[in-house]
Structure 1
Amino acid sequence: MDGDHGHRTRKDWVVTVSVDEYGGQTRAKARLRWRDQEAVGVGLASMAANARYSARVGDELAVARALSDLSRRMMAGAVQHIEAIDQPGI
């Protein structure tokens, strides 16, 4: 970075994750907010009555799925924006 006199810009994007349980199912919502936009990803994990894993693992699985869903949605949006820039007349 010799000679680089540019400045840094910091941008904070906030992800909020909420988890709820109902009827043996855990649901997580990952909500990303930036500028004036918002995206939401959802993840589910079922808890069988005889499940060998704890509720904590169900929470982790649902949250991981919600974040993965959010990631897919963000990637799809970015691809659409790139394609719109590459093909402005369409």
Structure 2
Amino acid sequence: MTTKTWKAEITITETDSEVRAEARLRGKEGGQMVGQGTARCNPADENVPAIGDELAVARAMSDLSHQLLQRAAHDIEVHTARPVERLQA
């Protein structure tokens, strides 16, 4: 049995009505991947910072997830010498 640990770190930066999130994944053979996401408050909406944080983080994690799927597809293609049709999250 083997146990591996990958660490995720999320940084949230707020400026006026914009929130930026960065999801950083470390662990795969010492490398790291970074996903990014943003959220903006519509001027007509009530400003609720927690919602902006949630949206920006969700988008950053989604970006990171897609990058990880692309890397896995590439690694499969290299290993098998056959194209990967589609990997889904």
TM-score range, shorter chain: 0.7 to 0.9
Is residue 42 of structure 1 aligned with residue 29 of structure 2? Answer: no
Distance in 1 separating the partners of 2:42 and 2:14: 13
TM-score by length of 2: 0.84
Alignment map for 1:5-20 (pairs within 5 Å): 8-20=1-13
Runs ≥4 residues deviating over 3 A? none
TM-score by length of 1: 0.83
Structure 1 portions without partners, runs of 5+: 1-7
C-alpha RMSD of the superposition:
1.5
Residue 74 of structure 1 and its aligned partner are, at CA, apart by: 0.2
Identity among equivalent positions (%) equals 37
Amino acid at match of 2:35: G
Structure 2 portions without partners, runs of 5+: 83-89
Q: Which residue of 1 aligns with 2:49?
A: 55
Q: Which entry has the higher C-alpha Rg, 1 or 2?
A: 1
Aligned length: 81
